[in-house]
Amino acid sequence: MASEVKAKVGFLGGGNMAKAMAKGFIKSKTVNPANIIVSATTEKTLSLWKEMGCQTTLVNKEVVEHSDVIFIAVKPNLVIQVAQEIESSVDPSKHLIVSIAVAITTDVIEAHLPRSRVIRCLPNLACEVQCGIFAYCRGKHVQEKDVELIHKLLGTSGLCTEVKESYSNALLSVSGCGLGFVGLVMEAMSDGGVRTGLPRALSTELVTQTLIGAARLVQETGKHPAQLKDEVCSPGGTTIAGIQVLERSGLRSALIDAVDAATKRAVEIADAQKAKEK
């Protein structure tokens, strides 16, 4: 069980990713819900957070005033607006700023929150069930104590690892968007089970456990995914017959193209934000 982090945590924005992170903190007992505060634009959004036992507000500055670690969790086009709004309330000696906004680099945030300790973090929704990914990169003023705090805070909700910021867009496409890609694959496999006579609930349960098992095998044995595929392909058997169909249909190329397209879209969002800054 994780030891509780005493730092007070704030979220600027209460959307799906912020909720997933907060639920992960609470489930792992890393952060007491009473030490989490969130701001949003509507009471409807905040009602879900109140049910979790968190503090809520409609005022972004109140989050800053009541927090030590502040997650910027708004849409990319709102990051600069929010940074400008809270600038007068941010104390660089006290506050650690963590942005989870897509495509917004640390230097952009530092430009609007001078001297602030800024970390850019790329989480995914699986952090809600302690199986997430938190890839982060540090800004110019980040200290080692900040990195230690981030690992303590995020590490119980999944893999927490430092990366080069130049990797961010590609990493987001694999680990963040990848959940959507895998969800589509799972749905299609479940549909296949239904097509061949399985009840929907059973088919989905089987698909889910199959993917968990495949991931665990690769993770714990260190086997290459191709080796896993080879080990279940008996000569003239059922698996190789299905593999042939997938190869003919271009599954491999489609997934590669999906990651590439998502990465390019992240670059477009970043370029659009930079153009607005000029």
Burial 65-103 (b: 16+ CB within 10 A, else e): bbbebbbbbbebeebbebbebbeeebeeeebbbbbbbbb
Helix 251-277 with 177-195: angle, nearest 10 deg: 150
Q: What does pLDDT average to over the chain?
A: 94
Of the pLDDT bands very low, low, confident and very high (cuts 50, 70, 90), residue 133 is: very high
pLDDT above 70: residue 98: yes
Q: Is 49 exposed, middle or buried (0-12, 13-18, 19+ CB in 10 A)?
A: buried
pTM higher than the cut 0.95:
no
pLDDT above 60: residue 1: no
Of the pLDDT bands very low, low, confident and very high (cuts 50, 70, 90), residue 2 is: low
Range 15-33 average pLDDT: 94
Q: Is 5 exposed, middle or buried (0-12, 13-18, 19+ CB in 10 A)?
A: buried
Of the pLDDT bands very low, low, confident and very high (cuts 50, 70, 90), residue 4 is: confident
Range 61-69 average pLDDT: 97
The model's pLDDT over 166-192, given as tens digits with 9 standing for 90+, comes to: 999 999 999 999 999 999 999 999 999
- DSSP secondary structure of 34-75: GGEEEE-S-HHHHHHHHHTT-EEES-HHHHHHT-SEEEE-S-
CA 268, 163, 130, 10: dihedral to nearest 10 degrees?
-70
The model's pLDDT over 112-127, given as tens digits with 9 standing for 90+, comes to: 999 999 999 999 999 9
Q: Which two tokens stand for residue 204?
A: 């989905």
Range 260-268 average pLDDT: 94
Question: Which position has the higher pLDDT, 148 or 273?
Answer: 148
Positive or negative, the CA dihedral 25, 26, 30, 36 is positive
Of the pLDDT bands very low, low, confident and very high (cuts 50, 70, 90), residue 278 is: low
> Percent of the chain beyond pLDDT 70?
99
Q: Which two tokens stand for residue 112?
A: 């609007």
Cα–Cα distance, 13 to 15 (Å, whole number): 6
Closest CA to 128 of 209, 15, 38: 15
pLDDT above 80: residue 236: yes
